[in-house]
A and B are shown apart, each in its own frame.
Chain A
Amino acid sequence: MSSSNSQAHLPVSLLSDAQWSALHQAIAPLSGAQLTWVSGYLAGLAQAQQPLAAPAAQAVTSAKLTILYGSQTGNAKGVASEYKAMAEAAGLTVELLNMADYKSKRLKDETHLVIVVSTHGEGEAPDDAAELHEFLASKKAPKLPQLKYAVLGLGDSSYEFFCQTAKDFDQRLAALGASRLAERVDCDVDYDADVSSWTNRVTELLKEELASAGQGQVVAMPGVNLAVAQASHYSKKNPFAAELLAAQKITGRDSVKDIRHIEISLEDSGLQYQPGDALGVWFTNDPALVDELLGLLELNGDAEVSVGDERLPLRKALLEKFELTQSYPSFAKGYAELTHNAQLLQLSEDKGALRDYLASHQIVDIVKAYPGKVSEEQLASLLRAMTPRLYSIASSQSEVEDEVHLTVALVEYQKDGQLRQGGASGFLAGRVEEGQQVRIFVESNDNFKLPADTNTPVIMVGPGTGIAPFRAFMQEREAQEAQGNNWLFFGNPNFTQDFLYQVEWQRWVKEGLLNKISLAFSRDQADKIYVQHRLLEQGKEVFEWLQQGAHFYVCGDANHMAKDVHNALLTIISEHGGKTAEQAEEYLNDLRKSKRYQRDVY
């Protein structure tokens, strides 16, 4: 806070010289942490005064806007929350709700609805959204002629059913007679720009709509909970430059996996997180990878290219701005067109085949396999903006205080004799050294939280790096002196090599905090044994725990594990609860609705 640079960003014109000088005097001796605290304090003061001091709000506000989100990893929730703040700033009265908390019978009373929803795996709705998604397609769904709505989809275009859930909501609402306020937009992984233009457009439309609706009631704005909950101004767009404290390999030397335990300092950031939250990590690409790409395309790294509103040397842009390690259809397609590569064009036509190909080929591999010529500017236009990676946090602040821990699998493989690494995992595991900085932000996840009642038992299923949030859970339960029982299911290839945090689990078992631990080491015997097998073996007791009110958590691989565990649960419920398949589904749905079945899968 010393430079004139920071002063320039202050809205000094709002303050008199005397006020400014008094303020400056008051804050000068404060430490970074104190400043952070004061900023939150002042924000709270400002909010308390807002109904009096916000004349702008009166002009336009009238009927209420409801924003619903369905989120698995927290992105949709983040976008929805930001949109809520924006709409409120525009003077709208807004209610923001997780779809899981929304009573569907309210729909017929809604007039204006914004939906932000993501899509997972093969076109599946996130857990939050599943029930409403299903309800809208059912015969019970009411006609909705009074409703005006807008849908924003989040997804990954490399999947065949890109933004399918958003499409479903859009179509189902239309089919029920509701009218589209704005066209749906399907956002890809780098959604910032699309989100911002869509939200601007929708806000403008809503301002007109709601003002003209003229129901005339001014509703006091509720407090913006977000800002109060996080006394930190760091965010995805404004990440905190944190010190990397440790990046320790925690798989044995003969492991087939390289998994790192990452410790990052939050000192002086004011960042807070809860067990179950995720940490966003920005990274820079591997210089060797950038050089290889520049070399293959014979491009000049010093040539300036456009990146959003900026002009940057290509090399710098490739290092810091563009996504190079996760491939996407738009690149393959665009590159094929620019280079007139018939083969690649053909591949681009087949969405499934292209996705499989992209999953195992980085941008540089595509260029290597399909040599061609593009200009610096063309390359920049083909590349997608880099997105930060989200990792489930593996620590609780009640244990580690101003640190945050992650459990990161290093993605690393040989491709045609060349070593390829994941962007963020390669960065964390090697390119950034201990003591250097990592840009991070906290992504809260309300859909993965310990029960409020510490007496409630929990069952945790977290094979592989899915163990991460459960380490956080156990640290939290230990600090809470929680009386509820805890049961962990963990799996990985080998007992001797891959038992992540083994000594910590041993301690928790010894001390009686972890009541049961069920292990599945798939490669330690002839038959592959996974967590779902252990669940089934212990089905009777699992069901007893559920009957006693246990919360059931799953973290890790979405494609196979989460489905297998889900099916194992259904089997257990029907076998040990004496239920039909349908009743078991219902039982599990009820668990999900009451937030007793929570998943953090990726």
Chain B
Amino acid sequence: MSDNQEQKLSDNERLKRESNFLRGTIAQDLQDDLTGGFTADNFQLIRFHGMYQQDDRDIRAERAKQKLEPLHNVMLRCRLPGGIITPKQWLAIDEFAEQHTLYGSIRLTTRQTFQFHGVLKPNIKPMHQMLNSIGLDSIATAGDVNRNVLCTSNPVESEVHQQAYEWAVKISEHLLPKTRAYAEIWMDEEKLETTDVEPILGSTYLPRKFKTTVVIPPQNDVDVHANDLNFVAIAEGGKLVGFNVLVGGGLAMTHGDKTTYPRKADDFGFIPLDKTLAVAEAVVSTQRDWGNRSNRKNAKTKYTLERVGVDTFKAEVEKRAEVTFAPSRAYEFTGRGDRFGWVEGVDGKHHLTLFIENGRILDYPGKPLKTGCAEIAKIHQGDFRLTANQNLIVAGVAAEHKAKIEEIAIQHGLIQPDVTAQRQNSMACVSLPTCPLAMAEAERYLPDAVTELEQIMAKHGMAEEHIIFRVTGCPNGCGRAMLAEVGLVGKGPGKYNLHLGGDRNGTRIPRMYRENIGEQEIMQELDALIGQWAKLRLADEGFGDFLIRNDVIKPVVNSAKDFYD
């Protein structure tokens, strides 16, 4: 640790320290009508308020020629612990997306929340006030903080889900920044004389982003190994009794930098419910104090664990939380996908899971998804649940309302008869044209890529089968390609690294099979391998498992050591 501390702190540390608890000069920038963007530190600081400055990259070069600045706008990511939103809230965000965003869409994301894309500066403050008016906010959904807390979208075991969801909300609230910056800047709340205090996060917040989930086995829809901190719900007789705690997952890496790698979370053991917040706080504060603040590429919890050792980190958490981890309780993950269509919960309510390709809710020609969702929201008595797979659940529908809701869903293309299992198990991050990090297409490539994949599957007689297929536009991992059976990681325009060998339940990291290849080559490789899989697979054997068993690809066992072998 001393080595790192002697190094110069990263510039983000300076800007957090100088930001006056995340205020910076954001308020002044809002008044600056010369640019649609934010300047200097504020560009980073708005992330702590749930926004990223972006621009339409499709027309960046065109606008440079036009002597216009890039089409700066912000993307807002709402804080929505567990992904639950009421119909009334939905109608408000539907209206805002329609009238005040460049893209007119509601984008459901892998963080189980929604994003507005393309909000111009004059609309930013009204947007936060609109959210506030419906009881929502976007505090700490980005930046070096604990971000939106995920919770398995499990409408079937409703009682357990309800308890788990309440914990997700409590954890989110507990770890939230306490600064009044958000209220002052966006809600015009009075500036108080008192100094802000951040008892958990500290005045310079965390070294890097931090992600938390509450997961209810056997579903692993939240992808625990993509997260820093996971609470695996352990229930007895329909009642939640505690959590197994998994620490140190994360998928981000940097092309060409072998000190970075995706990493699975380690199991610290079981804790009773009443220790949940203490453990959450202890993990966060240990990472706060021990995480690398000099090198942001080495700053996440996963690297801290590798550096100090899992046992040391765990012991520190036990000390800080005044708890001793019990041996983990048994649990099993059997799948990550959403259960589409209607299911009936134990409380007798009905839940309709809708497949939303790419999570992009928009009125497409002949497929007015956004209008459809709004129409449902107008009559729906229950709530909506956003899934970590970017889909939407119309939850808590009384039996007598099922028909009407289904009718609206069908009319608006929200239920389509011919969606294959392959399409349902495919996912992409947002990427181009809005994400500034994107290196290759993801969301805009996915539909066609899946169509090709479907044809390949059909050709080999596997049309009913599926492969967990994920495309992510850069190595930062929003599309969670590093937990897919087939993962594409954007490398350059039209070029991807092809990773193979993950498993269906998301417990094995796929290894790079081919580097920097084009779309056509990807499909040729997959065609050959799927052909072998079709012929030689064991009963119900997944594609990733098959490739490992047949030595097509060597499994990643301990990614810190063998990911680049």
Residues of A with Cβ closer than 8 Å to B?
A: 248-253, 261, 495-497, 499-506, 509, 517, 519, 524-525
Contact = CB atoms under 8 A, between A and B. Distances in A.
B62 interface: yes
A502 B122 contact: no
B34 A509 contact: yes
Contacts of A505: 34
Contacts of B66: 248-252
B71 A496 contact: yes
B156 interface: no
B34 A503 contact: no
A509 B35 CA distance: 11
A248 B120 contact: no
Given A502-B67, A503-B68, A496 B59 contact: no
In this complex, the member of A251, A502, A506 whose beta carbon has the largest number of chain B beta carbons within 10 angstroms is A502
6 contacts: A248-B67, A250-B68, A496-B71, A502-B67, A502-B69, A519-B34
A30 B62 CA distance: 43
Contacts of B65: 248
7 residue pairs, one from A and one from B, having the closest CB atoms: A250-B66, A502-B68, A501-B67, A250-B67, A503-B67, A519-B33, A502-B69
Interface string B295-322: 0000000000000000000000000000
Interface SS of A by simple majority:
mixed
B68 A499 contact: yes
B53 to A, nearest CB: 14
B33 A495 contact: yes
B33 A253 contact: no
A517 B67 contact: no
User: Residue among A251, A495, A509 with the most chain B CB within 10 A?
Assistant: A495
Nearest to B39: A510
B63 interface: yes
Nearest to B33: A519
A496 B66 CA distance: 11
A509 B33 CA distance: 12
Contacts of A250: 66-68
A517 B36 CA distance: 15
A167 to B, nearest CB: 45
A503 B65 CA distance: 10
A189 B141 CA distance: 64
Contacts of B122: 524-525
Interface string B35-52: 110000000000000000
A250 B122 CA distance: 23
A504 B34 CA distance: 11
Contacts of A249: 66
Nearest to B64: A503
A597 B408 CA distance: 65
A252 B33 contact: no
Interface of B: 33-36, 59, 62-69, 71, 120, 122
B196 to A, nearest CB: 31
Nearest to B73: A496
A506 B36 contact: no
Nearest to A509: B34
Given A506-B34, A524-B122, A252 B67 contact: no
Q: Is the interface of B mostly helix, strand, loop or mixed?
A: loop
A504 B67 contact: yes
B76 to A, nearest CB: 18
Contact of A503 (B33, B62, B69, B120): B69
A506 B59 contact: no
Contacts of B59: 252-253
A251 B62 CA distance: 10
A504 B68 CA distance: 9
B63 A506 contact: no
Contacts of B120: 495-496
Nearest to A505: B34
Nearest to B122: A524
Contact of A506 (B62, B64, B69, B71): B69
Nearest to A525: B122
Nearest to B35: A506
Given A252-B68, A497-B68, A505-B34, 12 more contacts: A248-B65, A248-B67, A250-B66, A252-B66, A495-B33, A496-B68, A499-B68, A501-B67, A503-B64, A506-B69, A519-B33, A525-B122
B171 to A, nearest CB: 40
A252 B122 CA distance: 19
A261 B64 CA distance: 13
A78 to B, nearest CB: 32
Contacts of B33: 495, 519
Contacts of A501: 67
B234 to A, nearest CB: 52
Contacts of B34: 505-506, 509, 517, 519
Contacts of A496: 36, 68, 71, 120
A509 B63 CA distance: 20
A502 B36 CA distance: 11
B30 to A, nearest CB: 14
Nearest to B102: A496
A252 B69 contact: no
A500 B66 CA distance: 8
Contacts of A251: 66
Listed residue (B35, B36, B66, B120) with the most chain A CB atoms within 10 angstroms of its CB: B66
Q: Which of A252, A505, A524 has the most CB of B within 10 A?
A: A252
B104 to A, nearest CB: 13
Contact of B36 (A261, A495, A503): A495
A250 B63 CA distance: 8
Contacts of B36: 495-496
Contacts of B64: 503
A503 B60 CA distance: 13
Considering residues B35, B64, B67, B69, which has the most beta carbons from chain A within 10 angstroms of its beta carbon? B67
A496 B69 CA distance: 9
Contacts of A503: 64, 67-69
Contacts of B63: 252
B46 to A, nearest CB: 19
A250 B69 CA distance: 11
A395 to B, nearest CB: 13
Nearest to B65: A248
A517 B33 CA distance: 9
A517 B34 CA distance: 8
A251 B68 CA distance: 8
B71 A261 contact: no
Contacts of B71: 252, 496
B13 to A, nearest CB: 26
Nearest to A251: B66
A193 to B, nearest CB: 41
A501 B63 CA distance: 11
A525 B123 CA distance: 10
A252 B68 CA distance: 8
Nearest to A521: B33
Contacts of A502: 67-69
Contacts of A525: 122
A499 B121 CA distance: 15
Nearest to A499: B68
Contacts of A252: 59, 63, 66, 68, 71
Contacts of A497: 68
Contacts of A519: 33-34
Contacts of A504: 67
A251 B36 CA distance: 16
Contacts of A248: 65-67
Nearest to B72: A496
B303 to A, nearest CB: 38
Contacts of B62: 253
A249 B120 CA distance: 23
A496 B33 CA distance: 11
A133 to B, nearest CB: 40
Contacts of A506: 34-35, 69
A310 B35 CA distance: 56
Nearest to B120: A496
A525 B71 CA distance: 18
A524 B35 CA distance: 14
